[in-house]
Structure 1
Amino acid sequence: MREPTTRQRPRPARDRLPTGGPELLSLLARLLRRPRRGDRRLPLLWLVRAAGAGDVAGLLRRFVGQGTGRRVPHAVLDPATRPGADDIPAVLRELHRQLSLEAFGTARLRFRHYPLADWLMHQTLADGVDAADSGRAALVRRLRDRRGRRSAEEPPVTGESGFGTALQVLLWLLRRAVPSAVFRVAVSGRVPLVGRHYRWFMRQQYLAPRQSVTFLGFAERLTAGWRDGEQPAQVDKLLLHAFLEDLRQAYRRRFWRPGDWRRTAYPVLLLDGVAVSTVGHTLVRLLNDVRNETGRNDPLLVVAVADEPPPELPATRALREADEAYEEWAEALPETRRLRRAAAWLVVLRLAQGDVVPPPGVTPRALVAPDPPWWSRRFLPAAVVLVLLLAAGAWADRRWAPDCHPSPTGQVRVQMVDGECVGYSDSAGQLFNSDPGQERLRAVQRRIFAQNRAAEEVWRRSEHRRPYLTLVYLGSLTGNRTRADEESYVSEREELEGMATAQYALLKESAAADGAALLHIVVANGGRQMRHAGRAVTMLEGLARDDPTLLGVVGLVESRTSTAAALRELNRVGLPVLAPTLSADRMDENSSLYLQMSAPNSDQARMLEAYARQVLKVTEAHVYHTTGEGSSLADDLYVSTLVDGLRERFGDRLTRLDEWRTGRRLTQECGYPGVLVFAGRWSEFDGFLRALKECGANPPRHLLADDSVNRYMANPGLRASAPGNLPVTYVSKAALATCGALRAAQARRDDARGTFLGWVRADDLLEPPRCRDDAGPPVGERVSLAYDASMMMVRALESLAARLRHADTGRRWEPRAVNPAGVHAEVLRQNAAGGYPGVAGVVRYAPDSGEPVAKRIALLRVAEVPDVDAEPVEVYHCGAADGPPDPACRPA
C-alpha cells in the first residue's frame, strides 16, 4: 500500500460519513472510509473507558453491524474469554473466519498466505506416514492434493483397445503428470508469475526462511513436532504477517481490475475486554511489532476497548482531542517506526460518558461503506475499456503537447510538467518555447542543432580521430509571462549563443587537426525558476548512461533551492557543472564537481560598498530585496546571500533593509542622499522603477542595482518602455566582453578576445551578427561567459586526448577513454597553472573550491534606462582582466 508522504489532515465535510452519533463514532467513520486516491495509515486505537462510560463494544457492534447493503468488513472478538496470552493462532483463526464471510455486500476477502501457514501448522508428519515414505514426501503429497489434484481413489479409465489405452495415458498426463510438474515449478520459486505465495514465504523475514533453502524445507519446519524448535513469538509473527499480507493484496488497486476499487471501507477488528498480559494485548503488541519490523502498512483498523491504558503508552488523550492526537501520531510515525518503538502505532484515547452514549432521542446511524466509483461496477465492461482509452489519451495529453513530444530523430526526451515542456533535445524536431516573441530563442536552438549535425559529419569524415564531447545546456526556457512582441528569455538565449559560438569555433578548425575537439550540444529545460530541474536531471541521468560522450552541464541560470537540489542530483550522477552566471555564495557546497564562472555575491557586495564609500563618498545605504513571483527569501539563494553580504559590508551604516513587492510605494526614498540598492530579481526591477517615478524631480541621488538587473538591461523591449529617466549603476560580470571592450582588445592584438569578436561578427552564426562597426546589437555579457565555460571543458578534453594518444596521433578517439570526473579534474589541473584566460576575464579557483578567486566584475552606468542606443559606461571594477590575481577595486 502506498504510504502518504505528507501529514494526514481531516478530510473535508463532503468526504465524511453522516453518523449523527457521538464523537467516537465520528472518529471511526472518518478513519474507516477509504480515500479515493492512495491509502491512509491506520493506527491501533486503544480506548480506555471510564467508569460509567457505557457499553462501548456493544455500541461499536451496532455501529458497524446493522447496516443494509454495503457494510464495513468487521470482526468482533472478546479475548477476555481466552485465558493466557499464548493463543494467537486461535484468535487469528477466528478473525479469518469472520472476515472471510460473504456477508458485507461485496466480494468476500480472499486469503492465500494465511490459510497455507495455518494449514501447515496442523500437519503432523511424525505419525500416520507409511514406512516407505519420508516426512518430506508426505508433505509434498498433501500440498499437491491441497492444490486440487485428483483423488487417488478415483477409478482409472480402462479399456482393451488402443484408443482406451491412449485415453488412459492422456488422462494420466492431465491429472497427474502435468499438475505434479506445475506444482514442482511453483514451489521452486524460480519461475516468475508461478507460485508467488510460495515465493513470498521465502522472502519474508520471520523464522529465517533462507536457512531452509527451499519452500518445502521451510514448510516442514512449520508442521507439528518440527515447530517445537522454533521461537513461538516468531511463529505468531509469521502467521500475523501472512494474514496482513492477504489483506494488503485484497486492498491493492490495479487499474486493469475495476473490482479492486469496490473496496471503499477498511476492515475493522473490535477487541472487547482487553486487559494487559492477555491475548488481546498480545495481539495488539504483535501488530505493532510486525508493522515496525516489516516496514509495510496494512488496511486493518484495530479498536481495542480496555479499562486501563497499555504499558507501552500509558499517556492518554481525551476523545475530543482525537483529531489532534491522530495528526501528531501520523507526523511522528515515520520516526517512531524507524526506531521500532513499542508504541509506534498506538493511539490511546480516554472515553468519558458523553463520548459513548448518544444524546437523548438520537440513534446513531449504522456505518455503511460508501458506494464505489461508477466505473468500477459490474455492468458494461466495455465502458471500462472506453474509460481506460480515454484515460490513456488524457495521460498522453498531459505528458506531451503539439510543441512538446518525442522526436523520431536525435536524442529527445520531454514531458509536460505543470504546463511546461521539461526535458532535453538535440534535434530540431523538438524546440523549447513556442510562445510569441521568442523567435530568437528558437533560432539559436536551430543553429545549435544544425551544428550538431555538422559536427557529427566532420567526426565521421575524420574517421573518429578527433575528440568528441557532449555538453548539456540546462536552463529556464519556459514559464515567463510575455507580450506577443516581447523577448523574455534574453539571458538564456545569450548563454545558448555563447555555446553555439564555441561549437562554431571548433567546426572552423582545419580538417587535418586531429587534436581539435568537436562539440555536440543538448538543450535541456528545467522550467520556470528551475522548479522542475530535478525532473530534467532524472532524464539526463539516463542520457549519461547511454552516451559516453556526455561530459558536463553548462547553465543553471538562477541560484535557488531547486537549483541547489539539481546540483546535488548532478553530483550524484557524476556530471560536472559549469555555471556561467550563478553567483550565490557557497553554491559549490552542493557538488564536488561544480565550477562557477562568475564572482560570488560576497565579491559583489564588497564592490558595491567600496564604490559607495570611495567614489560616491557616501556611507549610508538603504537596501530593498525581491525574490520573484511565487518564491521566498529562503528559496532564493541568490538574493538571500547577497542581502547577507550587504548587511555584513555596510554594518551599522545599513539603515534600512526591507522587502519590496509590486504595488508598494517608495516615496520615502525621494531625495535620499545615500545609496539606494536594488538587491532583487530583474523581473521586479521595472515595477521598482515605476514606484520611484513618483519622486518626480526629486529622485534618490544614487541608485545601484545587482547583476540580475543585467537581464533587464539586456532586453531592449523592456528598457524602451522603462518608466522615468533615472540613471542606474548596475553590476556586470562580463564588462570585458562588451563591444567597445572587444574592439579595444582587438586593436591591441588580444588574440583570445579578438578571435571571439570575429566569431560573433560572422554572417553564418548569430542572428543578427553582433558588434558590427556600422550597426548591430551588443554582444550580451552572458554570451562570453557561456563561451568561456564551454571552452574550458573543450580544452581540458583536448589536453587529456593528447596525453592518451601522444605516441599514436592517428588513432581513433574512444569516448570511454575519459569520464566526466576526469575532465573536471583536468580543468582544475590546467587552472592551477595560472588560470584559464577567458574572454570575460581570467578564471582562477582556490583549492577545494568551485568559486573563482578575484574574478573581474564591474559597475556599468546608464544615464537614462530607456535610452537603448547608449552603450553603458564602466565606472568601477574589481579583480584583474588578465595576469596574476588583483583583488583591489578601483574606478575605471
Structure 2
Amino acid sequence: MREPTTRPRPRPNRDKLPGGGAELLSLLAWLLRRPRRGDRRLPLLWLVRPAGAGDAAAVLRRFVGQGTGRRVPHVVLDLAARPETDDVAAVLRELHRQLCLEAFGAARLRFRHYPLADWLMHQTLAVGADPGDSGRAALVRRLRDWRGRRSTEEPQVGGESGLGTALQVLLWLLRRAVPSAVFRIAVSGRVPVVGRQYRWFMRQQYLAPRQSVTFLGFAERLTAGWRDGEQPAQVEKLLLHAFLEDLRQAYRRRFWRPGDWRRTAYPVLLLDRVTVGGVGHTLVRLLNDVRNETGRNDPLLVVAVAADPPPELPAARPLREAEQAYEEWTEALPETRRLRRVAAWLVVLRLGGGDLLPQPGVPPALVAPDPPWWSRRFLPAAVAVTLLLGLGAWANGRWAPDCHPTLSGRVKVQVVDGECVGYSDSAAQVFNSDPGQDRLRAVQRRIFAQNRAAEEVWRRSDRRRPYLTLVYLGTLTGNRTRADEESYVSEREELEGMATAQYALLKESAGADGAALLHIVVANAGRQMRHAGRAVTMLEELAGDDPTLLGVVGLVESRTTTAAALRELNRVGLPVLAPNLSADRMDENSSLYLQISAPNRDQARLIETYARQVLRVGEAHVYYTTGEDSSLAEDLYVSTLVDGLRERFGGRLTRLDEWRTGRRLTVECGYPGVLLFAGRWSEFDGFLRALKECGSDPPRHLLADDSVNRYMANPGLRASAPGNLPVTYVSKAALATCAALRAAQARRDDARGSFLTWVRADDLLDPPRCREGGGTAVGERVSLAYDASMMMVRALESLAARLRHADTGRRWEPRSVNPVGVHAEVLRQNAAGGYPGVGGVIRYGPDSGEPVAKRIALLTVARVPDVDAEPVEVFHCGAADGAPDPGCRPG
C-alpha cells in the first residue's frame, strides 16, 4: 500500500510537556493513527535516555495506555525486570499474549502462524514404547490434536461478517465429521482455502523450507532437538516473520469485511531499559533484518528506550528534531532498504535532561480514532438482512420451485411473467409442472437421458464421431388446462420427433465413425412465443460457449414474436429448421431459415381445389380466430392463410368474418357451401359448440385448417367434443400415418420403414406407436421434427466425410464446422434432388426457405369424438417422392 505523503501536526497538551516532548508525542500520535487510505511505514524508534533524565517510559506508557474508549493496542515490557534468560522467543510470546487480550475497545487480534511456530518449538520428539511408533507419527497425532483445540479457541476464518460466521461453522463441522481427512488435506497445502497457514510456512524464506519437501518434514526441524542443527538467527527470524505476518493479515482491509476497517490505530511495542547487545536490542535488529529481507511492511511500531545509542546508528538527533528526523528517514528508506542496511529502519533520538519529565495534572493520552460509519457493528447484519430481502424478492421474480438455476448440465432459466423461460439439457430442469402434462415431461426426460448416452458413446469412440447440438425452441408453458387435459400435444410430438432422430443415431454401430451423435437442448419461449427474444438472448450465450451448437428446431407458431425471434437467431448466426411453421414469407426474416411444411398459399390452393373439384361447390364462408390476447396483425399464420383464401376464392368467398367465443353460428345451419374454420385450434372446440345448435341441419361441408390437427391429436379434447359433425382438415404429414408407414415398409421404403421401426421401439416413445393390431397414432409433427433434425445431421455427416476423407479415424473437432456452413451444406444436398423426408420429399427453390411442392393432404373423420377411428385421406397436393409435382388429386 502507498504511504500518505502529507500528515497533520497534532500537538496534544503541548503546555504540559517541556523540551522536545511535545514534538515526540506529536510524531507518535500521527504515526499510530492509521490513515483512512493506504498504510504508512513505521520506523524503529530508539530513544537514548541519558543518566539522570526523567522516566520517559512512564510518560509514553500513559500516552498510549490511558486513553478512554478506543485505545491504541500496546504492550509495555520492562526488560530489566524480566529474567536474564529471556530470549527473542520469550519476548514474542509475551507480546503475543498481551496483544491477544480484548482490552483495547476493538476486536482482539487473531494469530494463526506464530502460535503454530511457537508450539512446534516446544515439542520434543522421541520414539514411543510401540516399536512401530516414530517421531513423525507422534508429531502428526499431536499436531492434529493441537489443531482441533485451536479450532475451538480461535476460528481459522476471522471477521464478523455473516460470510465469516458461515465459514467458521462449515469448517467446524468438517473438522468434527472427518477430522483425519481434513487434517491430511490441510497439511498437504494443495487445496485452496484449507491449510493456508501450512502453505505459508512452505513458501516463506527462512530455514529453506523447500529442502523438507512437505510441511511435516519442515515442522520436525522446528522441534526441540532437531532444531539444534539450524542457525539460531534463522529460527528467530522465522518466529518474528510469522508474528508479523499475523499482524499484516489482521490489518488487511477487505471491502467485504467491514470489521477490518475498525482497526484505526497501529499496535505499539514499548521496550524500556534496553541494553546494547541484550534481548531488546536483538529484537530491534531482527525486525530491521526481516523487513529488509522479506520486502514487506508490517503495522508494528517499536519504541525502544535505552541508555546508549545502538551501534548500528550511533548518531542521535535531539528530541526536538523528531519530526524532521522522521521525514529524513522516510526519504532515505527506499535506498537504505534496497541496500539492506543494518540501520535502515532505525530513527535514533536523544532525550535532553528536561524532556518527557512527568508533569502534574492530566497527562497526555492518545485515543484511537473512531472507525468509519459504514464499518459499525450493526452494518453487516443490516446489509445481510437487506441482501436477503432483496435476493428473495429478486429470486421470487426470476425463479420458482420448478424453475431454478442448477449446477447440473447446461441449464439457464428465469421466471418471466409467471413462465419458466430459458433452456435445459438436463433432468435437473424439466419444463412445465402443470397437471396433465406428464407426457410432455416424459419426453424431455427421455431426451435428457439420451443426451447422457450420446456423450458416453462419443467418449467411448475416442471422440471420432461427428457431434452436434440442436436446440428445440417452442412453447412449453402458458396454456390454461384441465388437470386431465394434455395441452401441449404439438410440442410434445415435435420433441418426440427429435428424440426419435437422437435414438436412431445411438443405434448406429460402435464402429461407424462417420455416423453423427445428436445432443438436444430444450428451450421454452413461453406462451405464443412471447418471450422468444429473452430465450434467444440466452441461446446466444450458449452458442458462444458451445461450438457443437449448430441449429434450432421448432418455433411452433407463426406470429410476429416468432418473426422477431427468427431475426435475432439470424443475427446470432444460427440456422432454424421449422417443422410446423407455414405462414407465407417467414423466410424473409432469416437467411438461415428452412421450413419443413408447405406454406399457407399451398394450403389455400389445396382447400379451394378440393372444394371445386371434389365437393363441386364454389361458394365459401370463412371464419378466423387468432387465439387469446392476440390480433390478426400479430398472428401471421392466420393472416396469411386468410389472404391466400381470399386470393384463391375471389368473389366466391361470400363471408369472411372473425369468430369469437360466445358468438352464435345458427346462420350457418344447412349451409351448402364450404364452411371453413381458419383459426387457431384453441378456439375450435368453441366453434363446434356453436355449430351444435344446428341440430339435425348442420352445414354440409365443414373444413378446417392444419392448426386443428393439434385438436385432433388430443384424445382428451376429441372425446368430449360437442356434436357428431364430420370434419375434414389439413394435414402436413399424411404420409406418416401408421397405415402409410406400414405400406411404405412393405415396399421397402428405407426412410419411412426405418422411422416406423424406431417409433415402434419399446424403449423410446411412451406409448410406442403403430403397434400391430392398431396402437397409438404417430402424430404428424413427430415426422416433421424428425425430418428437420435428420436434415441437419446428414449435412454434418457429409461435411465430416469431406473434412476427414484421408483420415476417417481421427478425432472430431467441433470447431472445424460452423452453423452457417452446415446450413449451406443442407441446401447443397437439397439441390441434388431434395431430401427424402418421412412426410414427403423436401425441396427448396433458389433463394427460398420455403419448400416447393411439399405434399399436403386433407383428412376426414366421420365423427370428431370417435377417437379410435383413424382419419382417412381424401385429397392431396404435392409430391411424395422425388418425382415431378403431380399436382392435386384425390387420395
For 1:771, the equivalent position in structure 2 comes to 770
- Give the Cα separation in 1 of the matches to 2:40 and 2:678: 78
Q: What pairs up with 1:410-809 in 2 under 5 angstroms?
A: 410-809=409-808
Aligned CA distance change for structure 1 residues 169 and 802 (closer, same or farther; 3 Å): farther
Alignment of 1:333-412 (within 5 A): 386-412=385-411
- State whether residues 526 and 532 of structure 2, in contact with CA within 8 Å, keep that contact through their aligned partners in structure 1: yes
- Mark the CA change 1:814 to 1:169 in structure 2 (over 3 Å): closer, same or farther: farther
Q: In structure 1, how many angstroms separate the alpha carbons of the residues matched to 2:40 and 2:382?
A: 41
Q: For residues 385 and 464 of structure 1, what CA distance do their matches in structure 2 show?
A: 48
Say if 2:661 and 2:687, in contact at 8 Å, map to a contact too. yes
Query: Contact conserved, 2:598 with 2:853, CA < 8 A, in 1?
Result: yes
**Distance apart, 1:848 and its partner CA:** 0.9
The residue identity in structure 2 corresponding to 1:860 is L
Cα gap change, 1:694 to 1:171, in 2 (>3 Å): same
Return the offset for 1:171. Answer: 6.0
Distance 1:387 1:406 in 2: 22
1:834-889 Cα offsets, whole Å, 9 max, x none, are 10000000000111110000100000011111111111000000000001340611
Contact 1:149–1:179 (8 Å) recurs in 2: no
What residue identity is the alignment partner of 2:780?
E
Deviations 1:240-299 (A, max 9, x none): xxxxxxxxxxxxxxxxxxxxxxxxxxxxxxxxxxxxxxxxxxxxxxxxxxxxxxxxxxxx
Counterpart CA distance in 2 for 1:450 and 1:612 is 47
Partner of 1:844: 843
Output one character per residue of 1:745-785: Cα deviation in whole Å (capped at 9) or x when no partner: 11111111011000000111101100001232100000000
Sequence identity percentage: 84
One-letter identity of the residue aligned with 1:583: S
**Residue 614 and residue 800 in structure 1: after superposition, are their counterparts in 2 closer, same or farther (change >3 A)?**
same
Taking a change above 3 Å as real, the CA distance of residues 391 and 727 of structure 1, as seen in their structure-2 partners, is: same
In 1, Cα distance between equivalents of 2:461 and 2:764: 23
**In the alignment, residue 610 of structure 1 is paired with which amino acid?**
T
Does the aligned pair in 2 maintain the 1:707–1:730 contact within 8 Å?
yes
Structure 1 residue 859 corresponds to structure 2 residue 833: no
Q: Deviations over 1:556-586 (max 9, x none)?
A: 0000111111111111111100000000001
The aligned amino acid for 1:757 is L
Q: State the Cα deviation string for residues 457-483 of structure 1 (Å, max 9, x = none).
A: 000000000000000001111111111
- Paired letter, 2:416: V
Q: Cα distance, 1:174 vs. partner?
A: 9.0
Deviation at 1:166, TM superposition (A): 12
Letter in 1 for 2:550: L
Contact 1:477 1:526 in 2 (8 A): yes
Moved over 2 A (4+): 147-155, 157-161, 163-181, 380-389
Matches of 1:409 and 1:636, distance apart in 2: 37
Instruction: Work out the CA distance in 2 between the residues paired with 1:159 and 1:688.
Output: 107
8 Å Cα contact 2:681/2:711 also seen in 1: yes
* Change in CA separation of 1:400 and 1:159 when aligned onto 2, cut-off 3 Å: farther
Contact residue 150 and residue 176 of structure 1 kept, 8 A: no
Contact preservation (8 Å) 2:8, 2:30: no
Question: Is it true that 1:823 corresponds to 2:822 in the alignment?
Answer: yes
Q: Report deviation, 1:153.
A: 14
1:664 and 1:148 map into 2 onto residues whose CA distance is: 85
The residue type equivalent to 1:710 in the other structure is N
Shift of 1:810: 1.0
Unaligned 5+ residue runs, structure 1?
1-146, 182-377
Per-residue deviation, 1:399:
1.2
Compute the displacement of 1:148 (Å).
11
In the aligned structure 2, how far is the partner of 1:584 from the partner of 1:673? Answer: 29
Question: Could you say what secondary structure the match of 1:578 adopts?
Answer: strand
With structure 1 as the length reference, what TM-score do the two structures score?
0.59
Instruction: Give, in whole Å, the separation in 2 of the partners of 1:175 and 1:718.
Output: 76
Q: Work out the CA distance in 1 between the residues paired with 2:708 and 2:480.
A: 18
Structure-2 residue corresponding to 1:278: none
Kept in 2, the 8 Å contact 1:415–1:421? The answer is yes
Q: Measure, in 2, the Cα distance between the counterparts of 1:468 and 1:846.
A: 29
Contact 2:10 2:30 in 1 (8 A): no
Structure 2 distance, partners of 1:754, 1:436, is 35
Q: For residues 740 and 470 of structure 2, what CA distance do their matches in structure 1 show?
A: 28
State the 1:179 CA deviation.
11
| Deviation, structure 1 residue 407 | 2.1
Q: Distance in 1 between matches of 2:30 and 2:19?
A: 13
SS at match of 2:503: helix
Classify 1:519/1:668 alpha carbon distance in 2 versus 1 (closer, same or farther; 3 Å).
same
Conserved 8 A contact 1:621-1:675: yes
SS in 1 for 2:610: helix
The 3 A distance-change label for structure 1 pair 853 and 180 is farther
Q: CA deviation at 1:170?
A: 8.1
Letter in 2 for 1:830: Q
**Counterpart-to-counterpart distance in 2, 1:576 and 1:645:** 27
- Residues 379-436 of structure 1: per-residue CA shift (max 9 Å, x gap): x976676344223212112211111112221111111111111111100111111111
* Secondary structure of the structure 2 residue equivalent to 1:837: strand
Q: Is residue 863 of structure 2 the alignment partner of residue 869 of structure 1?
A: no
Inter-partner Cα distance in structure 1 for 2:383 and 2:453:
50
Indicate the SS of the match to 2:453.
helix
Give the drift of 1:550: 0.3
Alpha-carbon separation, structure 2, partners of 1:175 and 1:430:
52
Deviation digits for residues 490-535 of structure 1 (CA, Å, limit 9, x no counterpart): 1111000000000000000000000000000000111111111111
Change (3 A) 1:868 1:153: closer
Distance in 2, matches of 1:877 and 1:702, equals 17
Distance 2:480 2:37 in 1: 71
User: Does the CA contact (< 8 Å) of 1:149 and 1:175 recur in 2?
Assistant: no
**Which amino acid in the other structure matches residue 667 of structure 1?**
T
Q: Secondary structure in 2 aligned to 1:724?
A: coil
Give unmatched runs, 5+ long, in structure 2.
Answer: 42-375
**AA partner of residue 726 (structure 1):** L
Contact 2:11 2:25 in 1 (8 A): no
Q: What is the CA–CA distance in structure 2 between the aligned matches of 1:178 and 1:753, rounded to whole Å? A: 76
Q: State how far apart, in whole Å, the 2-side matches of 1:768 and 1:568 are.
A: 37
CA deviation profile, 1:721-750 (whole Å, cap 9, x unmatched): 100111111000000000010011111111
SS at match of 2:773: coil
Per-residue deviation, 1:484: 1.0
CA RMSD of aligned residues (A): 3.1
- Contact 2:7–2:30 (CA<8 Å) still a contact in 1? no
- Within 5 Å, give how 1:119-518 maps onto structure 2: 386-518=385-517
Asked if 1 retains the 8 angstrom alpha-carbon contact of 2:409 and 2:424, the reply is yes
Partner of 1:188: none
Cα distance in 1 between the residues matched to 2:34 and 2:461: 66
Distance in 1 between the 2:748 and 2:527 partners?
42
Aligned residues: 551
- TM-score normalized with structure 2 length: 0.59
